[in-house]
Homo-oligomer: A and B are copies of this chain.
Amino acid sequence: MTDSPTVSTLGYALLGLLTRHPMTGYELTQTFDISLANVWSARHSQIYPELAKLQAAGLIVQTESGPRGSKRYAATDAGTEAVRRWLRTPPPAELMRSERLLRVFFFGMLPPEEAAALFRAEAARHRERLEHHLATAELIPPAPGPARLGRIALEAGIRFERMMTEWADWAAAEIQR
């Protein structure tokens, strides 16, 4: 802790959630499955060991022992400060990695009609996700509050799915020109 311990992105995600209010590993797992699914994902098998690391680094503390051996953790002051430092550090360049877009590169190996059908299927999929995101957005109160930033992140998802739907429709037409 003398020279900042390296914390993974998952670590910061957990830490960030724990600055809001104390949670158990189980609750954190659910949060990843539901509200954070859009932007990051993690399984319990990765979460529990990571919590142990954060605790060892003094960034979180266990505040409570519940039934069934559940443990509730909260961020320490050092943990909260670590998240702020993380937010202020320019994020590393993210390199794109999309198997779906990679496949597009090789669609020329299929008959044009088949390639167009794959694009149309892709458009349908994105349209479905768009509907789902729009329904989720309906549930978020427009008033300022803790859900505000979540709504802003969701907006990126909405615009992304809308964009990809239009792109795939365009590509299907383009390939048959």
A→B interface (CB under 8 Å): 9, 12-13, 16, 19, 36-41, 80, 83-84, 86-88, 90-92, 94-110, 114, 118, 121, 146, 148-150, 152-153, 155-157, 159-160, 163-164, 166-167, 170-171, 174-175
CA distance A175 to B149 in the complex (A): 8
Residues of B near A121 (CB, < 8 A) are: 90
Total copies of the chain: 2
Per a CB cutoff under 8 Å, which of B94, B149, B160 touches A99?
B94
| Interface SS, A side | helix
> A13 — which chain B residues lie within 8 A by C-beta?
102
Contacting residues, chain B, for A101 (C-beta < 8 A): 38-40, 153, 156
Q: How far is the CA of A88 from the CA of B117 in the complex (A)?
A: 11
A152 lies within 8 A of B174 (CB): yes
Partner of A160, one of B12, B87, B163: B163
